[in-house]
Amino acid sequence: MALDSAEPEPKRMKTSNKIEEKLDEYLKNMKSATWNLTPIVEEDLYKPIPVVQASVGIIRDPKDISKTILTLNDKVPMKELQHLKRAQKKEIVICPLSYLNGAKIEEYLENNVKELKEVFEEFKVCDVPSRPPQVRKQFEESNKVWPCNFHPNKYNEKLVSGSFYNEQELKTHRQYMEMVFEVTKFYMKGLTATNIDSDKILRNLNTCVVVDPSIQSVVAVCFDNRLKHPVQHSAMLAIDNVAKTQNGGSWVADREKHETIDSTLRGIDEELCCHLKEKFPQVKFGAKKFKSKRDMSEEELQGNDIGPYLCTGYYIYLLNEPCVMCSMGLVHARAKRVFFCFNNSEFGALKSKVKLQTITALNHHFEAFTGFL
């Protein structure tokens, strides 16, 4: 063969590398990250508050201001604009323009609040903030449009501050995310692909680490099995493995896998478990001892808190933004926080396609964070 070509072919650009190396690169970048994690919240928290038009009357005699406000609060309560202060010097909000139904403001007063017919010397239409400000920045901006009431909310301020976690917390979260990468590496061992392909492969699987922050301990570690079973994405497997630590669960792992027999950490491959314990000697493994109403007598339960219950209070760490199925599974499981590294532009349900955590109609809401890289 060598004789056929006098010169060796120049090395092709499309060289294949180990996927592990790609993961190591990400790991290196994550370890050197200096920035905070990003909470994923409804856009409304960051955006300026939109305005709506309202009919405003200018009081003839300032002595009438308080009486007029009382009358208006009684007769025209403006349910949707409760956050507005009714008066700004001599100007008083009578109602949103939409209440007039095209009629003139004078007619509206005549029909609804006759007693105020004479107190205004003129009328105008003003822009007013359409929603209550949720954070101080919005409050300050809204006040320039029309004076508002504002109830400061420490949590909301923290969300938009860009410094949600302190150094120590960031170290902890990054460590569990490192574990997510380490698990992925474990299952990608020996696989090679071009740069583009390895990114594709990594986006089409997921890895999940579940932590109980109250005892700072890993309670489940799962790698994807979606090729063999389209519902067995890692988060769904993790929810089932958590169930196994609570005397439940329904999926039986592949026979060739050697699961740990440790009942506080079910469903994890023995070999992987050893590898992780070696790699992260400072990390604790295993769930709290499970206590249930169903398995204990009244006396045994006396003075004992029951639990853990599903994933209540647990933190979920994922390589990729979870899909709709997994995200809703985590809502059902009542996870407390979900962390992920890469966006899932096609099916992501915490940031990319929808933000399930912000749908108020649902009965449970976790917090979602990203920005590891």
Residues that bind another protein (CB under 8 A): 229-231, 236, 239-240, 243, 246-251, 292-294, 306-307, 309-310, 323-326, 328-329, 331-334, 347, 349, 353-354, 356, 359, 361-363
From the CB of 335, what's the least distance to another protein, in Å? 10
As given in the structure block, the two tokens for residue 137 are 């920045």
Cβ–Cβ under 8 Å, residues 260 and 266: yes
DSSP tag of 177:
H
Give the contacts of 283 (CB within 8 A, at least 6 positions apart): 175, 179, 217, 218, 276, 277
The nearer residue to another protein, 181 or 342, going by C-beta atoms, is 342
Sign of torsion over alpha carbons 325, 327, 331, 333: positive
The nearer residue to another protein, 105 or 236, going by C-beta atoms, is 236
6 to 3, 13, 15, 174: CA distances (angstroms): 6, 21, 22, 52
The nearer residue to another protein, 101 or 250, going by C-beta atoms, is 250
Alpha helices (runs of H) in the chain, residue ranges in sequence order: 19-31, 65-75, 105-112, 136-145, 154-161, 167-188, 195-203, 234-245, 270-279, 298-301, 324-332
Sign of torsion over alpha carbons 212, 216, 218, 219: negative
From the CB of 223, what's the least distance to another protein, in Å? 18
The nearer residue to another protein, 23 or 238, going by C-beta atoms, is 238
From the CB of 329, what's the least distance to another protein, in Å? 5
The nearer residue to another protein, 109 or 311, going by C-beta atoms, is 311
The nearer residue to another protein, 20 or 240, going by C-beta atoms, is 240
Amino acid at 50: P
215 to 36, 264, 286, 288: CA distances (angstroms): 23, 13, 9, 8
From the CB of 9, what's the least distance to another protein, in Å? 39
Neighbouring C-beta atoms of residue 188, cutoff 10 Å:
22
The nearer residue to another protein, 50 or 248, going by C-beta atoms, is 248
From the CB of 333, what's the least distance to another protein, in Å? 5
From the CB of 250, what's the least distance to another protein, in Å? 5
Instruction: For Cα atoms 63, 68, 71, give the angle at the middle one, nearest 5 degrees.
Output: 145
Q: What is the chain's alpha carbon radius of gyration, rounded to the nearest angstrom?
A: 29
The nearer residue to another protein, 29 or 312, going by C-beta atoms, is 312
Burial (CB < 10 A; 0-12, 13-18, 19+), residue 223, is buried
From the CB of 127, what's the least distance to another protein, in Å? 33
The nearer residue to another protein, 109 or 335, going by C-beta atoms, is 335
From the CB of 347, what's the least distance to another protein, in Å? 6
31 to 177, 220, 283: CA distances (angstroms): 10, 23, 17
From the CB of 291, what's the least distance to another protein, in Å? 11
